[in-house]
Structure 1
Amino acid sequence: MSGIYIHIPFCKQACHYCDFHFSTNFSRSDEMVDMICRELELRSDYLPKGQPVNTIYFGGGTPSLLNASQIEKILSHIHDYYQLDLKELTLEANPDDLHPKKLEDWKALGLDRLSIGIQTFNSDILRFYNRAHTSEESLNAIMLAKSAGFQKLSIDLIYGFPSDDHKIWENDLRIALDQDPGHISSYCLTVEPKTALGNWEKRGLYSHSTEDFAAVQFEILMESMDKAGYVQYEISNFGKPGQFAVHNTNYWSGVPYLGIGPSAHSFDGKVRGFNIANNPKYTEKLKKGELAFTEEPSTTIDITNDRILTALRTIWGLDLISLKTDLGFDLLDLKNKQIALLLNEQLLNLDNNHLTLTTKGKLLADSIAASLFLD
């Protein structure tokens, strides 16, 4: 199996927390779609032979800004140049872009899963984030998507907004669960240097929440999801049984994927790489028939550490037998003391040669993985 990720590098406006690659100039969207199609042609031999594409994911940016003919053109190129056995076709969408006709067109193109960027149901915070939608539009978008027949829905939420208490976050979770989307992805609000929040913090105009405050909200998130029947199958992702995101699950499982578009990342099963994060330079390269792709040099140790990091984030954990068989490292032997300490502190579980994070360990996922990295 394998996947294709399509990065659509356009947004209506810049969210104050976002450091993803995008442009607010949509005037050259047709040209960008042409270049994405050109890259699909040029990189048709990137994915391992004999592994059909079973997931396609339109991310960004804001893919829901594309019109139906633009999406159809990209999908047509994928059908022409790749072997397909599709299990999931996802498009990220903003609530203000969801309208009955557009939803009808998406269904007709074969899209079967929507990931809706809600972030919060609090109108004041939406304005602070510089989001283009309102709380009312969020609720209406979910209703419209369900009415259009989209049975696989996901909504994004952000926690950690600085506040005197946790009432805003608790209310967001209550409203989200009342909508019963089936899948919720939730991420902590972070301050990135080249964002509006980063600039405000430098000037003393904004102070992010403390780590302890964010940790409490993460605990509230895990408890609320569990009570509602959602499984935390990855640190930031919760789904009801049968509604886990196939595409993202494949990411964390080491399945190869091809990233198309400016700034998109790829993984062929061994080596990772990325496209240039610049629309004009990406376009210039593709017009010449050249790739805008750079491989990241990696050693067996790099690949091992990458697997440790990604696998520990999931409910399935790190398969120690597979690690030894595939890459030649016996982690139980090489990191015996560290693993023993983490087990003793109830941060890790070891069962049937699989290491998994405990609920307590999920609060320290990155640092736990780093402690197991090979030098």
Structure 2
Amino acid sequence: MSGIYIHIPFCKQACHYCDFHFSTSMGKKEAMVAALRKELLLRKDEFKGEVVETIYLGGGTPSVLELHEIRSIIDAVYADYKVAEAPEITLEANPDDLSTEKIKALSKSPVNRLSIGIQSFFEEDLKLMNRAHNASEAENCIREATAYFDNISIDLIYGVPDMTNERWKHNIDKALSFGVPHISSYALTVEPRTALANFIERGIVKNVDDEAAQAHFHLLVDTLQAAGFEHYELSNFGKPGYFSKNNTAYWQQKKYLGIGPSAHSFDGVRRAWNISNNPKYIKAIGSGELPMETETLSVTDRYNEYVMTGLRTIWGVSMERIASDFGERYRNYALRQAEKHVGENLLYFKGDVLLTTKKGKFLADGIAADLFMVNLS
């Protein structure tokens, strides 16, 4: 299985917490779409013999594109690559872009999965985040989308300053009321050089509270699991049959191609990333050049990535796979490092597979870091 990720680097406005690569100027949108199509052509040999099973338009905000632009990008994938008979084709979208007319049009396009950035159903949260939509648009777009799409995911953010458990529970219950089969939920994170970081430093906004975020996380897990969702990755919950195929492939170290400025690619051994500059990206691609950097991952790098992604998922970290893919000494190291966390009821073994306990899930990234190998090449 392999996938193609296409980064659409445009947004109507900058969310205060976001540190992804994007531009709020749409002046180069047409040139960018042409460049994305050309990069797909330039890199088709990298996927020779591969069958593309997922196409994911992320960003940024892909829904700012016109329908003919979205279609042209997807058409370029079909023209230059071998695509599976029924691929998962996801479009990230914001509620303010999803008019009834656009949803209807998208439902007749190759797009078969929507990932909608709701974040909250409360006006004060949306204003704090500087989202482009309001609470009414959030509800209306989901109501309309569920009439035309079966496979829908929505994003919610917890750990927002002054968000009580009651208000967070209301957000979860509201999301469940629409019957969507997938929810992605993330703790509000203060990234350096973002507006949110600046506001907190100046005392305009309260800092995030880790204990409150952890309480929100456990409330989220308990509520969604009671509603029939499987907690298949730290931030992702799906009804059976509705796990994100694109993201699952990433967590299982499958091959993927990243198209567009700032997009990352991975072939199992090498990682590559494009320049995070729209004009320079467009100019380079127009000249037939690939504006990317590449690194070959060491055995230690690949072991660390496997541990990091595996502990976030229901598939865990297999000791047998560590031994076969990276070597017996890595397996022994992982076992030694895991002992303390098993004793603290943060990790447990199911056969030879190491998994996080309910108590350990929220701490998965920190636990994984403790299992990382640093000095062995």
Q: TM-score normalised to the size of structure 1?
A: 0.96
2:309 matches 1:310: yes
Match of 1:241 in 2: 240
CA contact (8 A) 2:323 2:331 kept: no
1:331 is displaced (CA, Å) by 4.0
Match of 2:25 in 1: 25
Identity %: 47
Match of 1:362 in 2: 361
Q: Report the Cα distance in structure 1 between the residues aligned to 2:313 and 2:328, rounded to whole angstroms.
A: 20
Match of 1:82 in 2: 81
Q: Report the Cα distance in structure 2 between the residues aligned to 1:100 and 1:335, rounded to whole angstroms.
A: 51
1:337 is displaced (CA, Å) by 2.9
Q: Report the Cα distance in structure 2 between the residues aligned to 1:10 and 1:165, rounded to whole angstroms.
A: 33
* Cα separation, partners in 2 of 1:351 and 1:120, compared to 1, 3 Å: same
1:29-44 paired onto structure 2 within 5 Å: 29-44=29-44
1:201 is displaced (CA, Å) by 1.8
Match of 2:127 in 1: 127
Q: Residues 153-202 of structure 1: CA distance to partner in whole angstroms, max 9, x if unpaired?
A: 00000000111732221111111111121100000001112211111122
Q: Report the Cα distance in structure 2 between the residues aligned to 1:73 and 1:229, rounded to whole angstroms.
A: 37
1:50 is displaced (CA, Å) by 2.9
RMSD: 1.3
Stretch of structure 1 that moved more, 206-215 or 23-32: 206-215
* Cα separation, partners in 2 of 1:29 and 1:329, compared to 1, 3 Å: farther
1:259 is displaced (CA, Å) by 0.5
Match of 1:14 in 2: 14
Match of 2:102 in 1: 102
CA contact (8 A) 1:332 1:339 kept: no
1:338 is displaced (CA, Å) by 2.1
1:181-260 paired onto structure 2 within 5 Å: 181-260=180-259
CA contact (8 A) 2:229 2:238 kept: yes
* Cα separation, partners in 2 of 1:370 and 1:329, compared to 1, 3 Å: farther
Q: Report the Cα distance in structure 1 between the residues aligned to 2:324 and 2:87, rounded to whole angstroms.
A: 29
1:332 is displaced (CA, Å) by 4.1
> Which amino acid counterpart does residue 22 of structure 1 have in structure 2?
F
1:27-176 paired onto structure 2 within 5 Å: 27-47=27-47, 49-85=48-84, 86-148=86-148, 150-163=149-162, 165-176=164-175
3-state secondary structure, aligned to 1:50: coil
1:310 is displaced (CA, Å) by 0.6
Q: TM-score normalised to the size of structure 2?
A: 0.96
Equivalences, count: 373
> Which amino acid counterpart does residue 95 of structure 2 have in structure 1?
P
1:323 is displaced (CA, Å) by 2.0
Unaligned regions of 5+ residues in structure 1, if any? none
1:329 is displaced (CA, Å) by 4.0
> Which amino acid counterpart does residue 29 of structure 1 have in structure 2?
K
Q: Report the Cα distance in structure 2 between the residues aligned to 1:13 and 1:26, rounded to whole angstroms.
A: 11
> Which amino acid counterpart does residue 71 of structure 2 have in structure 1?
E
CA contact (8 A) 1:323 1:330 kept: no
Q: Report the Cα distance in structure 2 between the residues aligned to 1:341 and 1:30, rounded to whole angstroms.
A: 54
Q: Report the Cα distance in structure 1 between the residues aligned to 2:188 and 2:338, rounded to whole angstroms.
A: 30
* Cα separation, partners in 2 of 1:229 and 1:266, compared to 1, 3 Å: same
1:137 is displaced (CA, Å) by 0.9
Q: Report the Cα distance in structure 1 between the residues aligned to 2:331 and 2:33, rounded to whole angstroms.
A: 48
Match of 2:262 in 1: 263
1:218 is displaced (CA, Å) by 0.8
1:314-325 paired onto structure 2 within 5 Å: 314-325=313-324
* Cα separation, partners in 2 of 1:215 and 1:317, compared to 1, 3 Å: same
Unaligned regions of 5+ residues in structure 2, if any? none
Stretch of structure 1 that moved more, 340-349 or 27-36: 340-349
1:226 is displaced (CA, Å) by 1.0
3-state secondary structure, aligned to 2:89: strand
CA contact (8 A) 1:12 1:132 kept: yes
